[in-house]
Amino acid sequence: MSRFRKAVLATALLAVAGFASAQTASPYPGVGRAATPKEIAAWDIDVRPDFKGLPAGSGTVAKGQDVWESKCSHCHGIFGESGEVFSPLVGGVTPEDIKNGRVANLINPAYPGRTTLMKVPTVSTLWDYINRAMPWTAPKSLTTEEVYAVTAFLLNLGGIVPDNFTLSDKNIREVQERMPNRNGMTTKHSMWPGNEFGGAKKSDTSNVACMKDCAPEPKVASFLPDFARNAHGNLAEQNRPVGAQHGVDTTRPEVKRTEVKQGVADPAPAAAPAAPAAVVAQAKPAAAPKAEAAGVDNKAALALTQKNNCTACHAIDKKILGPSFMDIAKKHAGKVDYLAGKIKSGGSGVWGPIPMPAQALSEAEAKTIGAWLAAGAGK
């Protein structure tokens, strides 16, 4: 039993045992309440590598293709090969890998990248992640049949199952025996609690935390020489615009630790030559009209952007995956109908190559958000 399941089961048992006297026996009286069985079941959805937790059901490759093209392809590509938004899911796997259970390209330094099907050893990982987190704009919105179907289609793209395959809880163990990297996983690391998957009881490290004579701050032994800093192009332009890691701007000098302590700011890039006043006047965009003047309810519009997951890709005043709301407002000031239509239909090419999928919100909601953007995207 996984740690998560143990924790959930313990919570459930405590809730059942103490529900009748929760108000008097609780160590935090007046704070919260015991979780109901239905609430616990809603969270207890993880699927283990031995398929405990997997719900009964099935889905065909053909059904998965329909779901994929409508809900998955805008981020992952029609064939799962796209690397524009996330790393590619499909590629790098051969029939020999499926036969042996080890992906040869993982140790091939000449292969250009790593895909999901090259690395993931268990089909349960795919099923579980798709079920919990996909699609990105509406997690947990897929039905059990759709999850089975999309998983089957993804496996089909990788050549693991045939075109006419139906994936189900009855045959998923057979599919596991065809996962390309099924023999590339180790459990000899003590991170899994127990021996049900051949794990190890003894920890792989036994270090003791240092609690005396600690250095007040780390000492950097060396820095990248300035002449080599931008030798391979600007790192900031070589990273995808999503994820936690972003490349440093190597066209600008590195800020040393002493400069940070003294409050010296990161040097800004050289300023562009000033344009003639007449040119500036012609190029300056018209100011966006005030939201209040347009009669827009800012709070209601912002609530709709959160309800419809717009904030997964957009922020008020900074670029995330898509442009900021304020940048959209400046570019399309006053264009209520255009913005509402664009929200509904989606598209790509206006702000870059990353596509925005069509949104399943009502016409009234799209109009409200469009009016808010057209009026300046006020807070």
Q: For 93-136, what is each residue's pLDDT tens digit? A: 999 999 999 999 999 988 888 899 999 999 999 999 999 999 98
Give the lowest-confidence range in 28-32, 62-66, 333-337: 28-32
Residue 209 tokens, joined: 């935390």
pLDDT band per the 50, 70, 90 thresholds, residue 17: very low
Please tell me the distance from the alpha carbon of residue 363 to that of residue 360, in angstroms, as a whole number: 9
Length of the chain: 379
Q: Across residues 216-234, what is the average pLDDT?
A: 80
Q: What is the pLDDT of residue 176?
A: 97
Residue 260, token pair as written in the block? 């940070």
Cβ neighbours of residue 306 closer than 8 Å, sequence gap 6 or more: none
The model's confidence at residue 37, banded by pLDDT at 50, 70 and 90, is: very high
Q: Residue 23 pLDDT > 50, yes or no?
A: no
Which pLDDT band, with edges at 50, 70 and 90, does 196 fall under?
A: low
Q: Across residues 317-344, what is the average pLDDT?
A: 87
- pLDDT for 11: 55
d(CA 17, CA 215): 50
CB 314 within 8 A of CB 320: yes
Q: How far apart are CA 53 and CA 39, in angstroms?
A: 16
Mean pLDDT, residues 147-173: 97
Q: Among 16-30, 51-65, 266-280, which stretch is predicted with the lowest mean pLDDT? A: 266-280
- Residues 372 and 301: beta-carbon distance below 8 Å: yes
**Model pLDDT, residue 245:** 58
Q: Is the pLDDT of residue 163 over 90?
A: yes
The mean of the pLDDT values for the chain is 79
With 0.75 as the threshold, say if the pTM is over it.
no
Higher per-residue pLDDT: 324 or 356: 324
Residue 281 reports pLDDT greater than 70: no
In this predicted structure, what is the pLDDT of residue 274? 46
Most confident of 104-113, 173-182, 358-367: 173-182
Q: Which residues of 342-364 are buried (b: 16+ CB within 10 A; e: fewer)?
A: bbbeeeeeeeeebbbbebebeee
3 state DSSP class of 299: helix
Average pLDDT over residues 15-23: 44
> Which band of pLDDT confidence, cut at 50, 70 and 90, is reported for residue 294?
low
